[in-house]
Amino acid sequence: MYMINWTILLVLLGFLGAMLAVGAWAAKKQKTAADFYVGGRNFNTLTVTATQVASAFGGGMMVAHVGLGYKYGFAEFAYTGIATAIGVLLLATLVAGWLREQDFYTTTDWMCSMYGDSKTLRAVTSVTATLVTLGWWVSQPIAAGKIMNLLTGIPINVGIIISAVVVVIYTMSGGIIAVAYTDVAQLGLMLFGMLILFPIAVVKAGGFNEIFAAVPQANLGLFAPGKSVVWGWILAVLPGQMVLQIYHQRIYAAKSTKVAKQGLYNLVISCVLAGTWASLLGMAIYKLAPDLADKEMAMSWAITNLLPKTASVIMLAGIVAAIVSTADSALHSTSASITRDFYQNIFNLDATDEDILKFSKKAIIVLGVVGVIIGIYIPMVLKVLVLGYTLTSSGLLFPLFLGRFWKRATTQGAIAGMISGVGSALLFSLVPSLKAMSVPAIGAGLITSLITMVVFSLITKSDKVKADT
């Protein structure tokens, strides 16, 4: 028998209902395939910034990263404030301006513009780019279901289904326009909740001096979990920011090069602030409750024990908003890859805008159903999908960036680099004997991808078509 907290549940359902209303409004603005993919390339600085930040942080920042701050203190800052920030900064400075000047819709378009379009290159690139977004899409409704179960009492599977259905409906209705404008609202709710909890936790913990005195002294530095762990984070996270299609699509959607770059620079600043916030809040909670068995429950503990009821409800809505903001971006990005890269450019070259919009809606529905089924019934598949960040980074980093800056790179080299990078990272993630070598999977993947791409490029003929544009 479940004990339902109807007050919190109704507030959350009201929030999710508002997201559906935004989707219905956005549907009226979605007329063409370009609207679905990149919002007509007309997003202003506020919209680009909000959707970049909301998509980047999501439930991970509100739950997992506060847990890292609780357990390891300022080591969390190395993850968000350093690795994530530098990766985004490199994306902004190296290619964001050039990307916005092109007529791209997906990361695969970027790849094919450099090497020449081919079905093999397009398919391999699209699958590699989708590994991370599909993993994010499947995992986020699970996180929402767990949070809703913990805080409202409804069964986890019911929470998974509710959150997934809502995201599917408004993403299907309004494409990236719905995703972006719900991200603006979700980011506002996230920030409001974050600003409520932080000062209360710090004051109740006795201020920063008492907090710093209470936590393990190693937590006041960047390497509390060990140098190898922190460098592993940096090695995985930094290149991951540079190859995320979610970021690329928002660059394409900006109304100008200046807006595209500014949105990323604002994200860099947000990463530094968020890393500081998560580290300090985690340590404040440690001071108040040092013996939590599950470190990722630090945020939930703080909400239920430190905030008055009204504020706690707002904060809970903020957490759900954070999770949903990542889920919708991942769902849209995955469906865009399937629609643009496979349906439009491989299977139906004569597709009209109407055909593309119809197919995109079907793709979102199918992905929604598959995501829920995997999340509830096939946890083994989920274990592979959560490796998506590592796999996508290993496969895409060098083919994309060497393709942009090294004239000798070839199509064969890019394909070989993607396949070998993903394969190597997967083996080092799953095979016990390779895992025992203490070589980070991302390190193995990147090194293999680089070597393979360079070798294959040097022994094959270059057929790059737009590297100098």
- One DSSP character per residue, 71-137 reads HHTTHHHIIIIIIIHHHHHHHIIIIIHHHHHS--SSHHHHHHHHH---HHHHHHHHHHHHHHHHHHH
Q: What are phi and psi of 154, to 5 degrees?
A: -75, 155
398 touches 168 (CB < 8 A):
no
Which tokens belong to 383?
A: 């274990």
Strand partners, 254: 43
- Count helices and strands in the chain by DSSP H and E runs: 22, 0
Report pLDDT for 87.
96
Residue 379 sits in the same domain as residue 397: no
Can you give the pLDDT at residue 469?
42
Q: Which residue has the tokens 């984070």?
A: 233
- Each residue of 168-199: pLDDT tens digit? 998 988 889 988 888 888 788 778 878 889 99
Percent over 70 (pLDDT), the chain: 96
* pLDDT exceeds 70 at position 383: no
Whether residues 203 and 290 share a domain: the answer is yes
Q: Which two tokens stand for residue 69?
A: 């701050």
Q: Is the pLDDT of residue 407 over 80?
A: yes
pLDDT (0 to 100) of residue 382: 55
Question: Rounded mean pLDDT of 367-375?
Answer: 89
Could you tell me if 237 and 141 lie in one domain? Answer: yes
Compute the radius of gyration of the chain from its Cα atoms: 22
Give CA separation, 465 vs 351, 409, 469, in Å: 25, 11, 9
Confidence of residue 6 (pLDDT cuts 50, 70, 90): confident
Domain extent, residue 450, equals 389-469
- CATH code for the domain in which residue 240 is found: 1.20.1730.10
Sign of CA dihedral 447, 448, 450, 454: positive
314 and 188 co-located in one domain = yes
Question: Do both 239 and 253 map to the same domain?
Answer: yes
Q: What is the dihedral of CA 339, 341, 347, 348, to 10 degrees?
A: 60
- Nearest 5 degrees, angle CA 50-CA 56-CA 59? 105
Same domain, 404 and 343: no
| DSSP code, position 465 | S
Q: pLDDT category, 466, cuts 50, 70, 90? A: very low
Please tell me whether residues 70 and 87 are part of one structural domain. Answer: yes
Q: Are residues 292 and 351 in the same domain?
A: yes
pTM for this prediction: 0.92
Q: How many domains would you assign to the chain? A: 2
Between 461 and 48, the more confident residue is 48
CA-CA distances (angstroms) from residue 286 to 49, 69, 168, 171, 217?
Answer: 32, 9, 37, 38, 13
Q: Contact, 215 vs 82, CB < 8 A? A: no
* pLDDT for residue 19 is more than 60: yes
Domain assignment of residue 332, yes or no = yes
Q: Is residue 397 part of a domain?
A: yes
Structural domain contains residue 410 = yes
Q: Residue 121: its pLDDT value, please?
A: 97
- Buried residues in 192-209 as b, exposed as e (16+ CB within 10 A): ebbebbbeebbeebeeee
pLDDT value, residue 144: 83
Residue 465 has pLDDT above 70, yes or no: no
The answer to whether residue 261 scores a pLDDT higher than 70 is yes
Closest by CA to 381, choosing from 391, 373, 389, is 373
Q: Which two tokens stand for residue 191?
A: 């920030």
Residues 215 and 281 in one domain: yes
What phi and psi values does residue 254 have, to the nearest 5 degrees? Answer: -65, 150
> Mean per-residue pLDDT for 92-103?
96
The residue ranking higher by pLDDT, 130 or 300, is 130
In the predicted structure, residue 88 carries a pLDDT above the cut 60: yes
pLDDT at residue 92, rounded to an integer: 97
Spell 227-239 as b/e; 16+ CB within 10 A means b. Answer: eeebebbbbbbbb
Evaluate whether residue 175 is within a structural domain: yes
In this prediction, residue 385 has a pLDDT band, given cuts at 50, 70 and 90, of: low
Which range, 138-142, 260-264, 312-316, is most confident?
Answer: 260-264
The percentage of residues in the chain with a pLDDT greater than 90, rounded to a whole number, is 59
Query: Is residue 52 within 8 Å of 254, Cβ to Cβ?
Result: no
More confident residue, 14 or 247: 247
Whether 437 maps to a domain, the answer reads yes
| pLDDT at residue 208, rounded to an integer | 96
Establish if 1 belongs to a structural domain.
no
Contacts of 426 (CB under 8 A, 6+ apart): 387, 391, 441
In a domain, 281, yes or no: yes
Q: What is the pLDDT of residue 15?
A: 83
In this structure, are 407 and 281 located in the same domain? no
Of 128, 123, 101, nearest in space to 112 by CA: 123
Return the structure tokens found at 264: 């990323």
Highest mean pLDDT among 91-105, 149-163, 363-377: 91-105
Distance CA 364, CA 383 (A): 22
Domain co-membership, 142 together with 174 = yes
Location of structure tokens 């530094």? 272
Question: pLDDT band for position 467 (50/70/90)?
Answer: very low
**Beta-carbon count within 10 A of 311 CB:** 16
- Among the candidates 366, 386, 406, a domain finishes at 386
Instruction: Tell me the average pLDDT of the chain.
Output: 89
Residues 400, 363, single domain; the answer is: no
Structure confidence by residue, pLDDT tens digits, 288-337:
999 998 887 888 889 889 988 788 887 777 778 778 878 888 999 999 99
For residue 2, what pLDDT band results from cuts at 50, 70 and 90? low
3-state percent breakdown (helix, strand, coil) of the chain, nearest 5: 85, 0, 15
| pLDDT higher than 50, residue 250 | yes
Question: Does 419 fall in a domain?
Answer: yes
Q: Which residues contact 349 (CB under 8 A, 6 or more apart)?
A: none
The stretch 376-394 carries a mean pLDDT of 76
Predicted local distance difference test score (pLDDT) of residue 468: 45
Query: Which candidate, 202, 200, 203, places its Cα nearest to that of 310?
Result: 200
CA distance 241 to 247: 8
Which one of 386, 403, 425 terminates a domain? Answer: 386
Among 334, 355, 386, the domain-final residue is 386
Greater confidence, 59 or 55? 55
Which pLDDT does position 1 carry in this prediction?
Answer: 55
pLDDT tens-place string over residues 314-324: 777 777 877 88
**Residue 147 reports pLDDT greater than 70:** yes
pLDDT surpassing 80 at residue 379: no
